[in-house]
Homo-oligomer: A and B are copies of this chain.
Amino acid sequence: MVKLISLYMNLKKHSSTESNILNAAKEIFERKGMAAARMQEIADEAGINKAMLHYYYRSKQLLFEAVFKKAFSTLAPQLNDIINADNSLFDKIKNFTHNYITFIIKHPYLPNFIIQELNRNPEFIEKQLSNKLPNIEKFRNQIENAVKDGHIRPIKAEHLFINIIALNIFPFIASPLLKGFLKVDKTTFKELMEERKTEVVDFILNSIKIK
């Protein structure tokens, strides 16, 4: 019994520090990127000694990879679930748009972080993340069938897929630029993003539906 309790205490201490580090690292890496992030700043954010980062994660690179994989693992399975759900193409587009915009509003740094670091290190996606990539075959078939059955105009699955993701994610990645171009403040921009939950769906469906 004592054994169990002490084991539990240790485990708790251990994993609490370890996950504190991971959370702090997530904050700093997402805000600043791998290159600009400082190990000391992560330690400060976690409220612990810098040596602990190395004790639990060995190096900055490995800590970064742990953060990155976790970030990727929160985004990719969601995408996978949506596009492989057992519903219609139109419902998938509605779900994707609504769920993803809602999710990203809560985690605004995430998409930019992932895209940024993948650009600096494109091999990473094959070497480390290939098992986490969503499977789009079902979605592709669904699009091809919809074209064949005359429900939507002819369009390559690849392009429709790219378009859906672009319309949903780009505004969050490019928000400083778009705010500048459109001359709108933070609040107005947020309202625009809320509107997009329906606007993007309309835009896509209007484009592909045969009326």
Contact = CB atoms under 8 A, between A and B. Distances in A.
- Which size class do A's interface residues fall under? 35 or more
B177 A118 contact: yes
Contacts of A158: 182, 184, 192
A204 B173 CA distance: 21
A49 B199 CA distance: 54
Interface in A146-175: 153, 155-156, 158-159, 161-163, 165-167, 169-171, 173-175
Interface string A31-46: 0111110000000000
20 contacts: A33-B33, A33-B35, A33-B120, A112-B116, A115-B176, A118-B176, A129-B180, A133-B180, A134-B181, A158-B182, A161-B182, A162-B170, A162-B182, A163-B167, A163-B203, A165-B170, A166-B166, A166-B171, A173-B173, A203-B207
